[in-house]
Chain A
Amino acid sequence: MSKKLLSGPYVLWMIGFTIIPLALILYYGLTDRSGAFTLANIMAIATAEHAKALWLSLGLSLASTICCLLLAYPLAMVLRAKGVGAGSFIVFIFILPMWMNFLLRTLAWQTLLEKSGVINGFLALLHLPPQNMINTPAAIILGMVYNFLPFMVLPIYNVLSKIDDNTINAATDLGASSLQTFWHILLPLSVPGIISGINMVFVPALTTFVISNLLGGSKILLIGNVIEQEFTKGSNWHLGSGLSLVLMIFILISMALIAKYDKNGEGNAF
């Protein structure tokens, strides 16, 4: 009885902010303006413009997830090696920029990368030709990596820091070189952290529209931008919801793939 009472607020929260919105999106996505059932909003993904946006989104999110992983793993290793005191200080330094507003951080990159921005100004001082950096896929990847890197570092650091030093010592004691120890012990043991890091970077990267708006300009449309525009400028909630549903399916597929890999990955060190 009291347990039920305690869970009340959470149930209300879930209903109000998860279930109802999801149901609404489902409703809008599967109906037209007159309220009749249709699959047209979903099928709209097949149009050249939408499909291109989706593939581009998948590509850029994948690229930035890989960049994050490649940057985060060594960083997490360094953090682990630093020991508790210094380690948590570095983690703190690392989290510090996250206290700054997400929009501000991305805007800062915009002013850095702009045609007449800080970096090009600096290049001009050195009599170097200006670089075209803003409004490129690379700029979007940079923005994604910058914003989402901590979400990769923290879960990996978390699993690495839980690995006992003596587990690593035991591997060296049994004759393994540092590379073999990394490959057979550290890496397999940190798979859960890598998986959750990938999830925490890939999903927001796939759905973002702010980063692509600010760093990709109007030239590069990601699926997030398309959906956003349907809701704001196009006022076509039905098409927007339909495309959201497609995106959701992609997210679910990627999470399922990752979960499956996680299961297979366990216990197969050699």
Chain B
Amino acid sequence: MHQPLIDLQHISKSFDGTMVLDDLSLTVKENSFVTLLGPSGCGKTTTLRIIGGFESPDTGSVIFDGQEITHLPPNKRQLNTVFQKYALFTHMTIADNIAFGLKIKNKPKSYIQDKIKYALKLVNLDGYENRSVDSLSGGQQQRIAIARAIVNEPRLLLLDEPLGALDLKLRQDMQYELIRLKNELGITFIYVTHDQEEALTMSDTIVVMNQGYIQQMGSPESIYNEPENAFVADFIGDSNIVPGIMLRDELVEIFGAKFACVDKGFGTNRPVDVVIRPEDIDLVAPGQGALSGIVTHLIFKGVHYEMEVTTPDGFEWLVHSTDLFPVGRQVDIHVDPFDIQIMNKPASEDEEAMGVNE
């Protein structure tokens, strides 16, 4: 097996006595697209800054391609960063911005010229060489920031919420641009976002973070379909998280009703958390499902209807369905066994932050 391109080993970092990263370990394989995803303040930028060399960890080490770079200054690292607010050099033309890294490295003039042309073409901004930074739109500035980074042929590109300031349409366009760029260039991407949809669309590995801990790491599908704890389930997409009791293998009791599931190994009569995605709930006629309730809310969402079904225990189930059930209708809830995801209950707050992993 290849050795990882980036290997973060037991990184801890605190600011003014507040722990921001706590014993974080993470490996990133060459040529992968890894996304750090988590709520504001969970330490995504700090992680990226430690990899980029702008911050040094209190403990732990950063290994790049087998070499320890923990205390190497940023200008000596074989990687480049695309900053959240672009951080272009406003006193230079677009061409000079892109050429900056190459000029610092004393590359020949003709090489630099070729590179500028190539990079501008790559980001679909041919002919913008002599424009000033201020004359570009946000999306264009972002693309220049990317061009400025990739002309240096880094092995690793760090992107800190590069699309955060763009509107929805532009953001979606840029997502595809970035995926295309990544595939064309074969550079490893570490990407930071707090937008779960963006993470699901773009990455081949998602690292869900909360309060300085990694909650879960895996492919977008596994993160979405098999969240390991309530935080991940709640953060990625909409979900119903309900308390349940694991009666035995493959049988869980929710609000007094028994549901067949596919999970095993939780023991018997063990309290657990159960995650059910809104689109996995089937509403059926009364008497045909495991739990009965009443539709209390209905919104048309375009592709589907979003409904709330309240069961006698007072829980409001979020349901997505293309079939309409009007408010006030008596319905039963049915869930297929493989759509039920069982998770251990966290024993304490601390454990909740760390994420409970079996």
* A169 touching B85, Cβ below 8 Å: no
Query: What is the interface size of chain A, counting residues whose CB is below 8 A from a CB of the partner?
Result: 21
A51 to B321, CA, bound (A): 93
Quote the shortest CB–CB distance from B114 to chain A (angstroms): 18
**B152 (CB) vs chain A CBs: closest residue:** A174
Quote the shortest CB–CB distance from A2 to chain B (angstroms): 34
B91, B92, B101: which has the most chain A beta carbons within 10 Å?
B91
**In the complex, per-residue mask of A174-212: 1 if CB is within 8 Å of any chain B CB, else 0:** 111100100011001100000000000000000000000
Determine, out of A80-88, A107-115, A150-158, A262-270, the stretch whose residues face the partner at the interface: A262-270
Q: Taking the complex as formed, is B57 at the interface, i.e. its CB lies under 8 A from any CB of chain A? A: no
A171 to B103, CA, bound (A): 12
Quote the shortest CB–CB distance from B112 to chain A (angstroms): 11
Determine, out of B72-80, B164-172, B206-214, the stretch whose residues face the partner at the interface: B72-80
Quote the shortest CB–CB distance from B147 to chain A (angstroms): 12
The bracket for how many chain B residues form the interface is 20 to 34
* B105 touching A175, Cβ below 8 Å: yes
Residues of B within 8 A of A188 (CB): 91
A170 to B88, CA, bound (A): 8
| Contact A172 to B73, CB < 8 A, known contacts A267-B92, A270-B103 | yes
Residues of B within 8 A of A175 (CB): 75, 101, 104-105, 152
* B93 touching A176, Cβ below 8 Å: no
Within 8 A of B (CB), among A246-261: none
Residues of B within 8 A of A177 (CB): 75
Among candidates A169, A176, A266, residue contacting B54 with C-beta atoms closer than 8 Å: A169
Q: Taking the complex as formed, is A7 at the interface, i.e. its CB lies under 8 A from any CB of chain B? A: no
* A174 touching B80, Cβ below 8 Å: yes
Among candidates B52, B85, B91, B96, residue contacting A266 with C-beta atoms closer than 8 Å: B91
Residues of A within 8 A of B101 (CB): 174-175
Quote the shortest CB–CB distance from B197 to chain A (angstroms): 26
Q: Taking the complex as formed, is B81 at the interface, i.e. its CB lies under 8 A from any CB of chain A? A: yes
Residues of B within 8 A of A266 (CB): 91
Q: Taking the complex as formed, is B305 at the interface, i.e. its CB lies under 8 A from any CB of chain A? A: no
**A184 (CB) vs chain B CBs: closest residue:** B100
Quote the shortest CB–CB distance from A82 to chain B (angstroms): 16
Residues of B within 8 A of A174 (CB): 75, 80, 100-101, 104, 148-149, 152
Quote the shortest CB–CB distance from A160 to chain B (angstroms): 14
A133 to B158, CA, bound (A): 59
* B74 touching A167, Cβ below 8 Å: no
* B80 touching A173, Cβ below 8 Å: yes
A189 to B91, CA, bound (A): 6
Residues of A within 8 A of B81 (CB): 169-170, 173
**B130 (CB) vs chain A CBs: closest residue:** A267
A170 to B101, CA, bound (A): 10
Q: Taking the complex as formed, is B83 at the interface, i.e. its CB lies under 8 A from any CB of chain A? A: yes
A185 to B103, CA, bound (A): 13
Q: Taking the complex as formed, is A166 at the interface, i.e. its CB lies under 8 A from any CB of chain B? A: yes
Quote the shortest CB–CB distance from A199 to chain B (angstroms): 20
**A192 (CB) vs chain B CBs: closest residue:** B91
Within 8 A of B (CB), among A16-35: none
Within 8 A of A (CB), among B64-99: 73-75, 80-81, 83-85, 87-93, 96
| Contact A164 to B105, CB < 8 A, known contacts A175-B75, A270-B96 | no
A172 to B53, CA, bound (A): 10
A164 to B87, CA, bound (A): 7
**B54 (CB) vs chain A CBs: closest residue:** A169
Quote the shortest CB–CB distance from B305 to chain A (angstroms): 44
Among candidates A172, A180, A185, residue contacting B89 with C-beta atoms closer than 8 Å: A185
Provide a sorted-by-A list of 12 A–B residue pairs whose CB atoms are within 8 angstroms. A166-B83, A170-B148, A172-B74, A173-B81, A174-B75, A174-B100, A176-B100, A185-B89, A188-B91, A189-B90, A267-B93, A270-B96
Given contacts A170-B88, A173-B75, A174-B152, 4 further A-B pairs with CB under 8 A are: A166-B87, A167-B88, A169-B52, A175-B105
Instruction: Give chain A's interface residues, CB within 8 Å of chain B.
Output: 164, 166-167, 169-177, 180, 184-185, 188-189, 266-267, 269-270
